[in-house]
Amino acid sequence: MGYASLEMVKERLGLDPSDTSRDEVLQAKIASADAFIDNLLKPYVEVPLANPPQMVRDASADLAAALFEEDRLAGGGGSQDKIHVWRRRALEALEAYIRETFGGYYTSTESLKGGGVG
């Protein structure tokens, strides 16, 4: 089970929650997002988090949605603006979580800004 739920990602993407046709792909995007998050958090805490806070769950959903939207963009659809919003929101949430929980500031998140997740 990932940090984000399928429903969280579908809500961001505007997908019908009852439509399961993309669930396998979305689960893979959640797994990729969670791996990225775990990599950021592992200097501070044992990962994966057993009980992730809402802030981390939301970051996972935002990253997973961005990864899915990137695939849409590569196929001629998708929205670069949405990708940037979701990535920025995830980055800000993860940095806030690290700062508030561990008193640190993780500065190596440039890959979020440039599309290097996944």
**How far is the CA of 31 from the CAs of 63, 86, 90, 118, in angstroms?**
10, 16, 15, 9
Helices (H), 14-53: 23-41
| Two structure tokens written together for 59 | 């970051």
Mean pLDDT of 38-65: 97
**Which residues, other chains included, contact 47 with Cβ-Cβ below 8 Å and sequence gap of 6+?**
37, 38, 41
- Residue 48 is classified by DSSP as S
pLDDT confidence tier of residue 104, bands split at 50, 70 and 90: low
pLDDT in tens, 5-29: 999 999 999 999 999 999 999 999 9
pLDDT in tens, 82-97: 999 999 999 999 999 9
Residue percentage of the chain with pLDDT more than 90: 83
